[in-house]
Structure formats: C-alpha cells, structure tokens
Amino acid sequence: MYKKLYLLLIIIVIISCKEEKKTLGNDNNPTEAKVNELLAKMTLDEKIGQLNLRGTSSRVKGGLSDELKQSVRDGKVGAFLNVMNTEYVDELQRIAVNESPNKVPLIFARDVIHGFKTIFPIPLGLAASWNAETVKESSRVAAVEASSSGIRWTFAPMLDIARDSRWGRIAESPGEDPYLAGVLGKAYVEGFQGDSLNDPTSMIACAKHFIGYGAAIGGRDYNTAIINKELLQNVYLPPFKAAFDAGSQTVMTSFNETNGIPASGDKKLLQDILREQLKFDGFVVSDWNSVIEMIPHGFAKDEKHAAEISVNAGMNMEMTSASYENHIKELLKEGKISEQQINNLVADILRVKFRMGLFENPNRDTNNSGDLYAKSHLELAKKAAIESSVLLKNKENILPLNKEAKVAVIGPLADKPREQLGTWTFDGDKTHTVTPVATFTKAKANFNFIEGLSYSRDVSENEFQKAINTAKKSDVVVFIGGEEAILSGEAHSRANINLPGAQEKLIKKLAATGKKIVLVIMAGRPITLTNIIDDVDAVLMTWHPGTMGGPAIYDMLYGEQEPLGRLPVTWPKTAGQLPLFYNHKNTGRPATSEEFVHIDSIPIGAWQSSLGNTSHYLDAGFTPHFPFGHGLGYTTFEYSDLKLSTQKLTDANTIEATVTVKNTGSKDGSELVQLYVQDVVGSITRPVKELKGFERILLKSGEVKNVSFKIQVEDLKYFNSDLKYGVEKGDFNIWIGKNSAEGLKGSFVYE
Ligand code: NOJ
C-alpha cells in the first residue's frame, strides 16, 4: 500500500516537473508562477517590447534622447547593448523599474569576450591553454569587472568550431576540436555566470553563433555553410550542448545560412534541436540585424516576412533591427503568428530576468568597484598569456635566452599597447597594457629596440638598415611581429595568411646577418611561415596575448616560465591547404609519405596517371606545418609502456589506458598528455582520430610518472546516419602522446 502511494507520489513529482515551465501560477515553481502572473498583466505592446534588444550608439549623442527614454517608459525595450555610460545605465533602469507599466527591468549587454578592462589572451589563445580553470577564472574576472558598469549579459562564449584560419573570427573561436571546445565552453559559462545568476557580479552567458558560423565557405565571413546532419551533431553542436548543460542562459543565432536556411529563421534548429534535443531553457537572441538580413539571404521577402519567419522559428529577442516592433501586431491580426507564440517568447525572457534577480535588485551594484586592473586580475592575465603561448620551434634550444646575451628587439608589435589586446577589446584601456618593450625596459634587460616596420602591414623599408645594424651589434634578434588587432575578428578574413607587409622581407635581411632569430608572433590566427621558417631559430606564438603580454613574453624568453600552450588548431603550411583539421576522414586513398609524389618529382612530359594515388596536394603535400596539439616546452619527454587494463570494452566495464612519461631533459617542466581514439569501422565513416581526454603533468628533470585515462562506452558514442546516438561494436585504436600526430598506439574491441 505504502509502496503504491510512494510510486504515485514520484509520478506526480515527475509530471509536475515536466509541466513546470508552462503552468500558470504553479506554486511549486515560484519563478514560473511569477512569469505567468506578470505576463497576464502585460499589454501586447509591452510584450513586444520585451523582444527588443536595442543599441544606443546613434541615439545617445549629447545624452539619452527623450525618445529613447520614452520608449523605455512605455515598456518598449527588453534589453540594451553597448550602453557604456553608467549614468545612462542607471537612468534607463530607473525609468524601466519605476515608470514603465509593469516595471520590468532591463538587461544591459556587451561583447565582453576575453576580458573587460583587464584583457586576457584572445579566445583562440585561451583555447591553446587547454586549461578550463584558467578560462573559468578569467571569465569570472571579466564578469566582476564588467558588472561594475552594469553589464549583466555578455555575448560570449563563441563556440564556433573553426577549421579554416583564413576566417577572421577564428580568433574568437575555441579552435577546431569539439571536445576541447566543449570543455572550455562549460568553463566560460561557469566563469561568466558565477555560482548564482542573481549575484550582482553574475553576467549571463550567450553561447554563439548557433550554428555553423565557423563553417563559412572558404573562410569568408558571413558566408554560406553546408553541414551535413552527421557533422552538425558530431562536430558543431557538442560545444553548445556543453554550454547549455552548464546553464548558459542565452544563445545567439548566427548570421549565416546552413544548408539553405538562415539560423534566425530556422525552426528545426531553434525548436527540434535547441529546445527538444539540447533542452535549452533560456532565450534566443538574434545576431546584429540577422533577422532582417534574411532578406538579402533571399529567405524573407521583406521585413514583415522576416519577423513572421523568426517568430515562427522561436527566435526570442531581436538584436538592433526592429522587425518585431514594426510588424508583430499586424502579423497577429493576419493570423500568421499567434498570441500564444508571443507569450512563449516573452516568458522565456522574463524567466531569465527572474533568475537573474533583476526584479529584486535591478540596479547596478555601486558597491562593486569591479576591482578594475586589480593585481590579482593582472597576475591571472599574465598566467593566461603564458599558458596560451605555443612554442612552435626551438632549434638547438636557443630559448630560453641567456640573460647576459645582448638582444636586438625588432618588429612592429614589440611596443604596440593597443594591438596586443586583439579583437573585441572596446573597453580595454591601452594605457594599462604592458608591452614587451616596456617590460624589457623595466627589467633593465640588455637590449636595444628598433621597430624596423611601424605597423604589421607596413611595406616601407626605410628603417631596415637601422634594424640590421642593431641586429649586427647584438647576440640575438627577438623579432616581435604578426598581425595588428584589426586584421582578425569580425569581417576580417584573409586569403593569404602570411606575415603581412614587409615582415618576411625584414626577417630574411636580419637572418642574413647570421644572428640567431627568435620570432614572437602576436596574431589572431595561425600565420603561414613556410617562407621564413628556415630563417628563424625559434617561433613563439602568443596570439594576441592581452594586457599582460609583455611580462609574459619576457618571462618565457628568459626561462622564468616555459610556454605552456598547445595548438587548438592545425597550423597550415599554406592557405591553399585550408580547411585543414586533424580529425578528418580517411578517404579511400589516404595520403602516405611513401606514396606521395612532389610536384618537382614528376617527370617532364609525364603521361597522365594518378601519380601517388592518394589524397594530397602535389605542392603542399598532406601534412600541416604543425599538428593540432603541438607545443614545445623547455624540456623533453619520452612516452613508453602504453598499457590497457583490458582490450575488451563492454557496457559494464571501463578501460584504463596508462602510459609512462619521463622528463628526459635537464629542466623541470610540464607536459600536456593527450588521448585520441579512432573508431575503425562505422556505419558511417569516422574521423581518423578524435581527442577524448588530456591531462597536464609537471615533472622534475628525470622524473617518471604514469598517466591514466579511463575510456568508457559513453566516450565513444556518436550520431550515425540515422541520427542514432550510440556506439557500434567493433575495433578501436587509441593513441596517447604529445600531439595529434604522434603517440603510442593501442587497440581494443567494443563488444
Ligand atoms: C555581431 C557579432 O557577430 C556578434 O558576435 C556580436 O555579439 C554582435 N555583433 C554584437 O556586437
């Protein structure tokens, strides 16, 4: 009897939980009750207002316009972006919560992408840290700093898988790997949102851009994406799933179309995938004008049609354009959309506002100074820059430098406080940036500085001779170049990703002096180095390292710290190889070095033949310049003894894969041990390798450690061609090693 009652109780609880979102006045779910109560009081105009995300840029010159204030007073705005004057933030919120009909608070949003005032490395750099803790802590700092200006919503993290370095926004991406992107996506959300959404320093996250923005054809920004359903599920969605599971309250639709449908009007994407499959329960915001951009896409015939499509797709909040504001009423009258749909769209937004505690505490917390540029923030920024920097090459261990050596610091980015911050750093104050030259100067290092080129695209050779003379008088050249901040980021794709301007030319001239050259690159993407790689002895990729780039670079150059980063993207030899990524498919004719025929080896007058018979470029081959996961430190490691606890994986057991790692160098150091798995035969073809785990270890010189990874069935699941998520019986290979191209190999069977 009691058993039955107990069962009944459980069933009731389950049902009521399921219903909680949409049940009017449900006392068991106070938030939902409040949402419904409020919704019932709101007029249609106010509801439409909640769906508006307004920019202020053109309307606040000379103060907040009366028109803008009136629209808030009338309840016609749900959120603002880019209100950067705290007085305006306070005033607009005051009007919203005191004078608007139902006193619904506003949310203030901003692109706080890799720091607010204290700027951390660009997201691609942070991804190179492979350190979720650092990503989480830096996002927390960003939230603390930004919330002091009233910003409680950031348009980050960007979780677009990017496999083409020509794309300017690769700088903002987590790189090419869905597993790493998922680990970092979760960390970003946890950091931005903090422990509680209603904490005044919590900034709600926005996973973006949903979906396929990074798959733009040819790396051309805003361009078409063609993504089959298997790739969508296995590659592009997992980082978003991780962010939603971590509680991301918002998601942004992307500008692009995928398979013919622009994201802001894609009902299947926004309902079946986002809400049903991924269980997202926050609200969807469009990208800047992306609703009305469905017109040039050729998907909507006019603004009204665009609004109809987006409402029907379930797109909650429209950024900057005003198709909802202008047309929802008319569309309702015509029966093209329903009031229930509008209620649902608004409820999603109100729910988040309640969760943020805005109804109780709508105002900017004036006790929160944000600790802008606090010592701890700067220390974290420096740590992050070191963890993000990837040492690509270090011939004859030229790095670290000897402190006695006389250094010629040359290059257009050696002393550029603004440029080293990178893309999306509107709030970073360059006067707080510490450049490499400032650091060398402060440390009284034995160096001379001459730019040689005054900005990264500079083609003037006027200063070359001075640079060469300085090099000649020195023991070693540290050339700090790359790309200015503006060369990556939104709408800044490049077809050629060499060092811009005359940098290669200058490097070659410096190399001709016979001096050793250390190339430090600050850039928003991998830079093809084929033309100059043999002219330089070391290459340190720091991405755009942020406020504390200078001290980080100084410490790495002189060996106070070793660079800790590992590539989160495959580094191409030439842009012609792009898109390029390690987790590709094998093809029927996989490329091998044995069969590869280089263009210069083809006999003159050769008869047509499928020379080499494999999938490669005659001139660029098939290997990248540096593989995904690559990165050197100041010591060396040897891997041995890969052991699997069993070679049979079942639903009931786990495999423990253990490898022995030895620090074989003379310095203490750290290694990022990486685990890759291949599902050899699938009902659809599977990637040649997939990252499934990684662990950083610290080893003293000569020290030996065992590193173990657990592999379970869950780790091997994927979506097959019927979109069935599961694992298929058969053979698997595993590798544990220092990057995606090297590693000890083992195998097991799942049965
Ligand atoms: C357009 C960008 O695509 C998006 O990422 C950004 O958040 C918005 N503009 C707002 O600035």
Reported as a single tens digit per residue, the pLDDT across 206-223 is 999 999 999 999 999 999
Helix axes 132-147, 178-193, angle to 10 degrees: 30
Q: Are 418 and 462 in contact (CB under 8 A)?
A: no
Most informative mutation of 114, 250, 320, 490 for ligand 1 (most atoms within 8 A of CB)? 490
**Chain-centre distance for alpha carbon 135:** 10
Gap between the Cα atoms of 479 and 490, Å rounded: 27
Spell out the residues 6+ positions from residue 548 whose beta carbon is closer than 8 angstroms to its own: 378, 381, 382, 385, 434
Residue closest via CA to ligand 1's atom 7 equals 155
Catalytic amino acids? 287
Gap between the Cα atoms of 310 and 270, Å rounded: 10
Gap between the Cα atoms of 164 and 220, Å rounded: 9
Considering the chain, what is the average pLDDT of its residues? Answer: 95
Q: What is the pLDDT, as a whole number, of residue 19? A: 39
Cα 158 to ligand 1 centroid, rounded to whole Å: 10
Q: What is the pLDDT of residues 336-351, one digit of tens each?
A: 999 999 999 999 999 9
Cα 264 to ligand 1 centroid, rounded to whole Å: 14
Domain ranges, ordered by start, for the chain: 637-750
Q: Which residue has the tokens 């109809």?
A: 308
Assigned superfamily of 637-750? Immunoglobulins (2.60.40.10)
Burial of 593 (0-12, 13-18, 19+ CB in 10 A): exposed
User: Which residues is 694 bridged to in the sheet?
Assistant: 674
For the CA of 158, the nearest atom of ligand 1 = 5
Residues with CB under 6 A from ligand 1: 111, 155, 208, 287-288, 490
Q: What is the pLDDT, as a whole number, of residue 25? A: 43
Cα 79 to ligand 1 centroid, rounded to whole Å: 15
Cα 287 to ligand 1 centroid, rounded to whole Å: 6
Gap between the Cα atoms of 533 and 523, Å rounded: 16
* Token couple for 323: 């198709």
Gap between the Cα atoms of 661 and 669, Å rounded: 12
Q: Are 410 and 549 in contact (CB under 8 A)?
A: no
Residue 579: asked if its preceding bond is cis (omega within 30°), the reply is: yes
Gap between the Cα atoms of 140 and 359, Å rounded: 23
Cα 290 to ligand 1 centroid, rounded to whole Å: 10
Residue closest via CA to ligand 1's atom 9 equals 288
For the CA of 208, the nearest atom of ligand 1 = 5
Q: What is the pLDDT, as a whole number, of residue 8? A: 47
Spell out the residues 6+ positions from residue 444 whose beta carbon is closer than 8 angstroms to its own: none
Q: What is the pLDDT, as a whole number, of residue 28? A: 72
Name the residue type at position 629: G
Sheet containing strand 648-649, edge to edge, reads 648-649, 742-750, 730-739, 669-679, 690-699
Q: What is the pLDDT, as a whole number, of residue 4? A: 54
Burial of 432 (0-12, 13-18, 19+ CB in 10 A): middle
Alpha helix ranges (H) inside 695-746: 713-716
Gap between the Cα atoms of 536 and 59, Å rounded: 51
Q: Are 98 and 399 in contact (CB under 8 A)?
A: no
Which residues of the chain fall short of a pLDDT of 70? 1-27, 57-61
* Token couple for 168: 């300017």
Q: Which residue has the tokens 């309840």?
A: 75
Integer CA distances (angstroms), 744 to 40, 72, 659, in order: 63, 62, 8
Most informative mutation of 188, 252, 288 for ligand 1 (most atoms within 8 A of CB)? 288
Residue closest via CA to ligand 1's atom 10 equals 288
Gap between the Cα atoms of 144 and 365, Å rounded: 11
Spell out the residues 6+ positions from residue 244 whose beta carbon is closer than 8 angstroms to its own: 207, 251, 278, 279, 280
Residue closest via CA to ligand 1's atom 3 equals 287
- Nearest by Cα to 666 from 633, 626, 697: 633
- Phi and psi for 52 in degrees, rounded to 5? -100, 125
Most informative mutation of 287, 292, 423 for ligand 1 (most atoms within 8 A of CB)? 287
